[in-house]
Structure 1
Amino acid sequence: MCNRYRMGAKEAELLSRYGIISPYPVDESYPPDELFPKKRAFVVRAEQGARRLDAMRWGFPHMVTGASGKRIEKPVTNVRNYASPFWRSALQNPARRCLVPFTSFSEYGPGPVGQRPLHWFSVPSRPIVSFAGVWRPAEGGAVFAFLTTEPNSLVAPIHPKAMPVLLHDEDEARWLSAPLEEALTLAAPFPAQLMALA
């Protein structure tokens, strides 16, 4: 479920889009065009009343038993069960919520494993959109994941289980600051008529 997305905008565009003044030199070589689990990507978070742009690794560390019987780390990239203790502490604390900027996200359509077609979704009226995300400190640097919800009518025929939570621009500040129950009202399918499929 959405383990690949694009961030076609560079750092300077993100700073402008989110109203961030950075004291650091801008690196226009970052981020790469496509982003995958375990890789670093930009997130926006609130700190002391201002927004900050950070690079974090995608996926909360989670230990599972592999086929060999050994314990291995498998990152969890999507928040599906909002009541799970695994996510609850990050969701409850507004300081642990973040915005994950993207320009398009992908889902694999139905088909045989290894041959499923890849589809890309975007919001044509908005060059940079935000997933509703959470983050936390971790060994080796901070990590993030983003929320999922029921798919809308555009995504459902391709991926009937879920879609990422896309935020309207006017809801981004609420996601970063509102009490939990209010913040979770934003975890709804984005209007299909505002999206496009490539």
Structure 2
Amino acid sequence: MCNLYSNTMPPAAMRQLFAVDAQRDQLGNAEPLPGIFPKGTAPIVALNDNGERALWNTHWGFVLPQVSKKTGQPIQSKAVNNARDDKLRTSPFWKKSFIQRRCLIPATSFCEAKGRNPATYFWFGVRGEGNRPPFAFAGVWRAFSGNYGGEQREMVTSSMVTTTPNELVRDTHPDRMPVILHPEAYEEWLTGRPESAFALLRPFPAEQMVIHQSGEGLKSDKGGL
């Protein structure tokens, strides 16, 4: 499970990498994001109503309404930011988004914590040119309209897809890791049939990844700035 990642790419770099026209970039003058947490701002690449690639800011986590077990009254909604690959095609919470609303989540690294009091934070990335080579997670999105945090909100929410970990990540998180897509798979994930899109959900090769940094208290990847 990933509850923290970074995206320090400027919007112009995202437009170039993901082939998004400037007119469909809604990020504005987005600042680098060295630490993106659940309920935070998460840029995505999605298809608009015309089937064109667009850059949107989203709320990281699908909104899951909750009620108190004691009173039965509504309480603070939960933001579900990881979608398990083994639930995408069966869970009503994810299924429609997987079939109709897949997206790319731009990133420069992601974090997994190991241990407690204190935890050691490991920041993973992909091998390539530059300090933090960019990449994209497989994601899904959906619109939300309703009460959230005590106020009426309308927003786009997103969640990344997770799968079983590779050898590099397994030592830190033995159960899950986010799905990193190869660039040649971007179009298939966005536009392909559900069956072919699902076939892309597998662990990224460990030999093509690297640990950028690790240590206590590293709750943001400022090494990528």
Q: Quick check: 2:138–2:189 contact (8 Å CA) kept in 1?
A: yes
Q: Quick check: 1:90–1:134 contact (8 Å CA) kept in 2?
A: yes
Q: Which residue of 2 aligns with 1:20?
A: 20
1:83-136 per-position Cα deviation (integer Å, ceiling 9, x unaligned): 21110010111xx11000000000011x23x42211000002162111000001
Q: Quick check: 1:167–1:190 contact (8 Å CA) kept in 2?
A: yes
Q: Which residue of 2 aligns with 1:183?
A: 197
Q: Unaligned stretches of 5+ in structure 2?
A: 146-153, 214-225
Q: Which amino acid aligns with 2:136?
A: S
Q: Quick check: 1:3–1:77 contact (8 Å CA) kept in 2?
A: yes
Q: Quick check: 1:10–1:30 contact (8 Å CA) kept in 2?
A: yes
Q: Which residue of 1 aligns with 2:94?
A: 87
Q: Which residue of 1 aligns with 2:118?
A: 115
Q: Which amino acid aligns with 2:17?
A: R
Higher strand share: 2
C-alpha root-mean-square deviation of aligned residues, in Å? Answer: 1.9
Q: Quick check: 2:26–2:57 contact (8 Å CA) kept in 1?
A: no
TM-score by length of 1: 0.91
Change (3 A) 1:78 1:67: same
TM-score by length of 2: 0.80
Q: Which residue of 1 aligns with 2:138?
A: 132
% identical equivalent positions = 36
Change (3 A) 1:136 1:160: same
> Which moves more between the two structures, 115-124 or 146-155?
115-124
Q: Unaligned stretches of 5+ in structure 1?
A: none
> Does residue 156 of structure 2 align to residue 153 of structure 1?
no
Q: CA deviation at 1:25?
A: 8.6
Q: CA deviation at 1:39?
A: 1.3
